[in-house]
Amino acid sequence: MDINNINNKLLIIALLIISVLFINTTNATTYDNDSELLSFCKKECHNKKLNTERFCKKCQTLERRARQKRQEKNENFEGLDYYTLLKKINYELLVLEAKIGNQSLNFIRLGKKNDGGYVVPTKALEAADVLMGYGISDDISFERDFSKNYNKISYGFDCGVRNITTGDPKCHFLSECIGSSDYLYKNQKSSGVISSFTEQRQRLNLTNKKILIKMDIEGAEYNVMEDILKYSKDITGIVLEVHDVDKKSKELLKILYSLDENFILVHVHGNNCSGKVRRINLPKVLELTYINKYLVDTYQISSNQKHPLPIDQVNCISNPEHTFEIKV
């Protein structure tokens, strides 16, 4: 009998046994919910570390289940009263503690002091090839810090500003708005250049790039996120300021559900330039930081849901900081 054939057969059998053991071990692992298992599953299949078709089919099943849950939620909350909607928003604002291996994420604050700076996990910054920043006004410090600290290209968009000195050759300003110019301040006049994320991505040759999103566009975020999230697999993280939590509760809930499919919320800060929602201790304007699930190994609800954190800074120095806690 051919020794080589025997060795090859033994090798194949050994690989099959290892694959089965790995699958069984993975399935035996205790996860807090389907989202946590999906996070691990999608990461493994995304990185192609496994050649086990059965394991990646498990991912597809979980993805379908997650999509179904989202559809059910989107259909069911339309008839809900105002405070029930706010309670659902409150639950979606639970911060998750994500880990890579056994290490929790590291965070850094980019941008100028007070209003204009945001807290971001370094993993999302390092994994990004480029930053797309929306809503600049007279402050491009976040985009400039990204280019300076990581030696990568950043773009700042605002059609209400004709030009701005960026302070870094890799940091570029475009007098252009995403989706609409309706959100501009009263003293601003639009350049008339309006485009979608899809158009910008193609025009700037970013279709094969990993992108970090930063957005503060005074309420217009509700109209543009659907287009952006079509490219979730290419987005490492999203720093999003959401406005009018009290008046746009349905729109906000839809965004939060959509983000939850591929991203996890890792940081929340209340913008103290605006007030709080009556009857619940929740700021009307929130700064939310997300990281893509494929960049982390595991995540679970954080034991600390009190805000702000020491890394945060007040937006308006003349106002007291918003302190609040998201109830589990």
Per-run averaged pLDDT (10 residues), the chain, 328 residues: 56 52 43 53 52 55 61 64 87 94 97 97 98 95 98 96 94 95 84 96 97 94 95 98 93 93 96 91 96 94 96 97 91
Structure tokens at 294: 């494929």
Instruction: Show the domains of the chain with their CATH numbers.
Output: 3-65 (no CATH), 82-325 (3.40.50)
Say what the pLDDT of residue 50 is. 43
Q: What single letter denotes the amino acid at residue 88?
A: K
Say what the pLDDT of residue 181 is. 86
Say what the pLDDT of residue 248 is. 92
Question: How far is Cα 201 from Cα 231, in angstroms, rounded to an integer?
Answer: 10
Question: How far is Cα 269 from Cα 254, in angstroms, rounded to an integer?
Answer: 20
Say what the pLDDT of residue 71 is. 60
Q: 308 near 322, Cβ under 8 Å?
A: yes
In the numeric block, the tokens 């945001």 are attached to 118
Question: How far is Cα 297 from Cα 102, in angstroms, rounded to an integer?
Answer: 9
Say what the pLDDT of residue 29 is. 41
Residues contacting residue 298 through CB under 8 Å, at least 6 positions apart: 36, 39, 40, 98, 99
Structure tokens at 186: 């009263």
Which H, E and C letters describe the chain, residue by residue? CCHHHHHHHHHHHHHHHHHHHHHHHHHHCCCCCHHHHHHHHHHHHHCCCCCCHHHHHHHHHHHHHHHHHHHHHHHHHHHCCHHHHHHHHHHHCCCEEEEECCEECCEEEECCCCCCCEEEEHHHHHHCCEEEEECCCCCCHHHHHHHHHHCCEEEEECCCCCCCCCCCCCEEEECCEECCCCCCCCCCCCCCCEECHHHHHHHCCCCCCCEEEEECCCCCHHHHHHHHHCCHHHEEEEEEEECCCCCCHHHHHHHHHHHHCCEEEEEEEECCCCCEECCCCEECCEEEEEEEHHHCCEEEECCCCEECCCCCCCCCCCCCCCCEECCC
In the numeric block, the tokens 């350049």 are attached to 191
Say what the pLDDT of residue 193 is. 95
Structure tokens at 118: 């945001």
Q: 64 near 34, Cβ under 8 Å?
A: no
Say what the pLDDT of residue 53 is. 52
Question: How far is Cα 102 from Cα 109, in angstroms, rounded to an integer?
Answer: 23
Say what the pLDDT of residue 27 is. 41
Say what the pLDDT of residue 81 is. 85
Structure tokens at 220: 């217009």
Question: How far is Cα 322 from Cα 152, in angstroms, rounded to an integer?
Answer: 33
- Other Cβ atoms closer than 10 A to 220: 21
Question: How far is Cα 182 from Cα 220, in angstroms, rounded to an integer?
Answer: 7
Q: Which residues on neighbouring strands pair with residue 265, listed in sequence order?
A: 290
Question: How far is Cα 208 from Cα 219, in angstroms, rounded to an integer?
Answer: 29
